[in-house]
Structure 1
Amino acid sequence: AEWYKCEKDIVDLQNQLMKQGQGPGARAIYEESAESLASVVSLIRKDLADGSLERLLAYQMSLDMILEQRTAKLMTVDFKDTRLNQLKQTREALQESLGLQAATLISQQPGLVSYKFDGLEETLNAASLQTLSAAQIQQHLDQSQGLLPSLAAVQRDQPVLRLFANLHQTLALVLDGNQVASFPLDSSHTLTITDSGLPIEACRVVRLEKEGDQTLVVFQTGHRTEWLADRRTVDLTVTLSRATGLKVPYEALIEPDHERQEAGLMLVVEGFTRLSRVSIKATDRVSAIVEPLASQAYQPTVSTILVVNPKTIEEGEFIGN
C-alpha cells in the first residue's frame, strides 16, 4: 500500500509540474497518449449509445495499458524538482525493501515471467495452432476470457508462474467468408488492437485454410509480445479492403441503414443545421467513409462543418457561424 501511494504521489506531482511548464517532452508524451485514450473513449460512448456493456472490461484493460505506458515514459523525463527526486528515491527504497523480504528465483533461461495462466498453455501454443481446425480454435476462443486470470490462492506443488521465452507470438483469426486471396502465405500484415487502436506490425501469415464458410488465418509476430503474453484472446481489426472518400466519425451518422448503405449527416450551413443523406462506402467501429448523394440539396465536402453529436440537436437550429 505504501508503494502504491508513493507511485500516485509521483504521478500527481508530475502532472502539477507539467502544468507549470516544467519537464521538457512531458507535454508531448501526454498528447501522444491522449489520442489513444480518446479513441477508446469514443468506442465506449458508441457502445453505451447502443446499450452494449459486454466490452467494458476490454476497454478498461486498454485504458490501463495506455496509462501504464504513459507513466513509464514520464519516469524518464527530468523535471529538475527536488520533491520529485525524493519521491523517486523513496520508491526505489520501497522496491528494494520488498525485494529483500522475498525469496529469489533464478532461471537459467531468459524470458518474461508471468503469474497469469489458465491451464491451456499445453493445448494452445504455436505448434498446436498449426494443426487445430478452425472449429476447435473457435471453441477455445468462445470459452476463454481475454486477460489471463491471476491465482487468488495457491496450494503446494501447484504452478504459480510461467516463463515466456518465445521470440514470437502466434495469433489465430477465424474470418467469415472466403478471405484466402487477401492473406497469401508468408505475406506480412499490420493488425490493429480494436479497443486502443494500437498497431501490431509485421504479422506474417504462417497458416491459411478455407474451412466451410470461414477462413482460418494464423499469424506470427515479434511485436507487442509482452502485452500479448498475458492474454488468451484479443479483439483485432483486420483490413480486408480499402476505400477512399470523406472520412467522418461513426457517431456522426444519423440512422445508418447498412442494407441500403446510406445514412444522414447533420451539416452546418451558414450557421444553421441541415440534414443531408450520404452513401456509406465503408465503416469500422470508429469512423465511416461516405460519399455525397447528387440528389441532396446540401452536400458535405472536405471543409464542411459536421455536428458530431446529432442526437442532441434538431435540423434547422441556429448554432452560430
Structure 2
Amino acid sequence: MSRLTMVPVGKEALKKRRRLAFLRLSALFAVLLLAGLGGWWLKDKITGMFVKVVVEVQPAKMGQLSETRPLPGWVIRDEFIVNAPLSGRVQRLVNDGERARVGAPVVKIKELNPSGSEMGSLQDVFSPRAGLISYRMDGLEEVLNSRVLDELNPEQLASLREKPWEVNPDSVVQKGTPLFKVVDNLEKAYFLIHYNVKDLGGPLVPARRVTLAINAAGPNFYGKVLNVRGGDDVWALIQLSNPPMEVLKARTMPLLLVDKVHKGILLPKSSLVERNGEQGVWVSVKNRAEWRNVNLVYTVDEQVIVDGLEEGLLVIQNPTLLKEGQEIK
C-alpha cells in the first residue's frame, strides 16, 4: 500500500483562495444590496400605484352637527282611509309613498265570485283627495288627530298601540276592508310626545318654539308647542312647520330636539389623521398629497365639524399609506 502524504498549501495558493472567497462574499453582498434596493423601489412604486387607485377625495363643504336629545313620539297627519268597494284581487296602480292627484286611479280590483274564483270585471278605485298614497294602515288613523290631548286622558294615551295592516300587491281583499289611505302632505302635521322632564333637561311650555331634526347633520326644521299635560311625566303636542317628507311617511319615529348647532366644514371621521400630536387631514393639491392642520369642533358618531379648511379643498377620505408629496390620481 502506498502512503499518502499531506502537502502543505503554498502561500500563493492560500492567498488566491482567500481572494476568491472575498470576491464571492462581495458579489453576494452586492446582489443582496441590489435586491433590497430593488425591492424598496418596487414597494414604493407599488404603494404609490395602490394609493393612486384607492384614494377617495371629496370637496370640503360647509355643514352642521347639532347637540340633540331624543324625542320619541307619534306623527299626526291629515289622513283619509279608502275602503274596498267590493271583494277581489288588488292591482296597485300607484307606488307606496307616491303622491296622487285628486281623482287619480290608485288600485284596480278584479272581482271575485262567491266561490273565490276571479270574474272578468275590473273596477278602478280613485283617490278622493290629493296626497301621499300608503297601503300600510296602523289602526291609529281615527285616533290620532290634533285634538288628541283634549279628548284622551294620560291612561288612554299610554295604551296607544299600532295594529299594522297592509294591502300587498296581488292580494285579495274583502268588501269594506281598508284598502289604502291618502296623507295630505300640504296640511299641518303634528308630533305627540311622551317624556320625563329630567330626561329632556327642562319643561316644554305652550307657545314655545323648538328646533327639531331627524339626524344631527340636519336639515333642521321647527315646531311650536301647542298643548302640554302632566307634571314630571309629560305629554305634549307640537305643531310641525315644513317637516321633511320622511316625517310625513312615518307614524312613530324619534325626532331630535336640537339644543345647539355647530357649523363648519363637515367631514367623515375617517378623514382625520393625527401626526406629531396634531389633528389634521390630507388634501389633494395639484394631484399631490398635502397635510393641513385642523381644529376639531364637534363630533357625532362618524361625522365631525372642523375649522381650518377652505371650502372646496379636495379632502382625502381614506388617508392610508400617504406621505407628503404623494401623487394622487
**Higher helix share goes to which structure?**
1
Larger radius of gyration: 2
Tell me, yes or no, whether TM beats 0.5: no
Larger RCO (CA within 8 A; separation ≥ 6): 2
TM-score scaled to structure 1, two decimals?
0.43
**Higher strand share goes to which structure?**
2
